[in-house]
């Protein structure tokens, strides 16, 4: 057996790695396949890639790192949908390709728990949310909280939060989990829940992979609707737009999904996220967008959905009409579709297969922020009307929609503004490599504006370059976060790509 290097650890005999030696790949192509991510902005080359055939393989890798005088980093990679190298293992670490477990682990199993009164799905951390949906629908069930894109791994979204237009009603995905199996940074496999190893349970949910690798999640399921009434309304006034969104998320018999977005000449109504409008509808919207009285060349759009099934099919139109009557959108600019539930939830098509050479050169310098409700008028004036309107480059969808803080659990690691209502901003830029730096400058300008204006934003899917910025992000919760890291990953092995404890 020959020598090999994993991180800074010299292994004289590959047999020391026991049964994972044939699953660790060091060749150039294998390493290159996990050196980049969806953002296509950061290139971090690991020493090796582990293709596990069981959870035990991951445990063996982490325990081996712990035995080294200088441990190497271990990063779990689900779908590589991070945008700043968060799933990378820089500095000679090892990336664990979690997708290798698909078809080898528990998959997705649907069950009923009489003690809690919940249907639930036990899903491997490597499973895609689309897999969870399909398995649950076979039993007439479905999760209630989603991301807009379903080709993401269960472990990946639960390590961040998992948000979309259902979050105002059901909370993010992390608040709809009953139990987890987690491999800690010590290599211990622990089951945790609200009542068992609860400190680990709450830390891992939204914990950015710092405390453990999620290998199983027990996800709450409810009776699934079958169809969706999908409505979009257009606004020219920001205050009216946000007031109506806040009304929608407070209605007792309101929508099941609410999101908002901006329409600009560079961020058109139809985009890769969903093609909703017909050509004649697009012409109508474009004509209104160009009117001088519209002011800043901006329109705002509310998107809401009500689900229904055979039992409520006779009343759904009346329910939609009752909701619409209370809103103050531009007359004549209401558009509606009636689609199967799966078509709505799967509206953002899979992006990680059959990518052309041109797509491979595309970058995604995204910025996701939580903005406190009390400052959204200032945010609109400084960011939407000023900064974004001045930057005249093709971009992508610009999302802006509210959520209720009471639907989040403050015991979990995810951080949100300290207000009852806050807004999610999603600047989902797509650009060429040559333009990526320009969009980074735009993002930085937005962040600097908020800091100078005293708008206490929080980054979602955060990316910081200094320990001080991370401390500011977590605020008074930083000490607990650090103590939990020392308890479950004392040698700072897990998720080095986040750059929290691995500068």
Q: Which residues are known to be catalytic?
A: 81, 148, 259
Helix (H) / strand (E) containing 376: helix 376-379
Q: Which residues, at least 6 apart from 167, have a Cβ–Cβ distance to it below 8 Å?
A: 145, 403, 407, 424
71 and 63 Cβ atoms separated by less than 8 Å? no
Q: Which residues, at least 6 apart from 463, have a Cβ–Cβ distance to it below 8 Å?
A: 83, 84, 86
The tokens of 342 are what? 């799966």
Q: How far apart are CA 137 and CA 141, in angstroms?
A: 5
- Strands (DSSP E) found in 236-346: 257-263, 299-308, 334-340
Task: Give the residue among 230, 222, 220, 217 at the shortest CA–CA distance from 191.
Answer: 217
Q: Using CA of residue 340, residue 156, residue 372, residue 435, what is the dihedral sign?
A: negative
Q: Which residues, at least 6 apart from 305, have a Cβ–Cβ distance to it below 8 Å?
A: 165, 228, 229, 230, 231, 255, 256, 257, 344
233 and 301 Cβ atoms separated by less than 8 Å? yes
411 C-beta neighbours (distance < 10 Å), count? 13
Please give the angle made by the CA atoms of 227, 229 and 235, to the nearest 5 degrees.
155
338 and 385 Cβ atoms separated by less than 8 Å? no
Q: How far apart are CA 259 and CA 270, in angstroms?
A: 15
Task: Give the residue among 117, 115, 121, 116 at the shortest CA–CA distance from 217.
Answer: 121
């Amino acid at each position: 057996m020959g020598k090999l290097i994993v991180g800074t650890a010299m292994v004289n005999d590959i047999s020391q790695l026991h049964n994972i030696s044939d699953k660790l790949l060091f060749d150039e192509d294998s390493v290159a396949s996990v050196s980049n991510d969806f953002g296509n902005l950061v290139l971090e080359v690991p020493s090796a890639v582990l293709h596990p055939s069981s959870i035990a393989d991951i445990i063996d890798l982490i325990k081996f790192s712990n035995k080294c005088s200088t441990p190497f980093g271990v990063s779990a990679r689900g779908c590589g949908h991070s945008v700043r190298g968060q799933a990378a293992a820089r500095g000679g670490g090892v990336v664990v390709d979690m997708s290798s477990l698909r078809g080898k682990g528990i998959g997705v199993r649907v069950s009923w728990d009489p003690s809690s009164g919940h249907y639930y799905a036990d899903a491997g951390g490597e499973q895609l949310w689309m897999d969870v949906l399909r398995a649950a629908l076979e039993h007439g069930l479905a999760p209630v909280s989603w991301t807009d894109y379903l080709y993401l791994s269960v472990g990946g979204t639960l390590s961040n939060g998992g948000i979309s237009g259902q979050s105002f009603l059901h909370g993010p995905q992390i608040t709809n989990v009953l139990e987890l199996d987690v491999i800690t940074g010590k290599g211990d496999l622990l089951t945790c829940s609200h009542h068992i190893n609860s400190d680990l349970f709450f830390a891992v949910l939204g914990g950015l992979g710092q405390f453990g690798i999620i290998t199983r999640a027990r996800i709450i399921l409810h009776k699934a609707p079958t169809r969706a009434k999908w409505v979009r309304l257009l606004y020219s006034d920001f205050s009216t737009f946000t007031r109506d969104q806040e009304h929608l998320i407070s209605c007792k018999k309101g929508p099941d999904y609410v999101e908002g977005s901006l329409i600009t000449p560079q961020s058109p109504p139809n985009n890769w996220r969903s093609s909703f409008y017909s050509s004649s509808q697009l012409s109508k919207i474009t004509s209104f967008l160009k009117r001088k009285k519209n002011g800043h060349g901006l329109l705002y759009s509310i998107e809401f959905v009500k689900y229904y099934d055979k039992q409520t099919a006779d009343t759904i139109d009346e329910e939609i009409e009752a909701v619409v009557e209370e809103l103050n959108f531009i007359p004549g600019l209401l558009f509606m579709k009636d689609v199967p539930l799966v078509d709505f939830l799967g509206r953002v098509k899979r992006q990680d297969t059959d990518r052309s050479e041109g797509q491979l050169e595309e970058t995604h310098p995204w910025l996701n922020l939580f903005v406190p409700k009390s400052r959204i008028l200032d945010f609109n004036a400084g960011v939407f009307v000023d900064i974004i309107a001045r930057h005249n480059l093709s971009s992508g969808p610009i999302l802006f929609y509210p959520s209720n803080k009471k639907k989040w659990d403050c015991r979990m690691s995810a951080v949100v503004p300290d207000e009852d209502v806050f807004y999610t901003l999603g600047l989902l830029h797509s650009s060429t490599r040559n333009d990526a730096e320009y969009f980074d400058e735009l993002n930085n300008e937005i962040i600097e504006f908020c800091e100078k204006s005293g708008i206490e934003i929080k980054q979602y899917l955060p990316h910081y370059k200094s320990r001080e910025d991370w401390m500011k992000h977590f605020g008074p919760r930083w000490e607990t976060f650090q103590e939990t890291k020392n308890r479950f990953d004392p040698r700072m092995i897990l998720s080095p790509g986040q750059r929290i404890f691995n500068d």
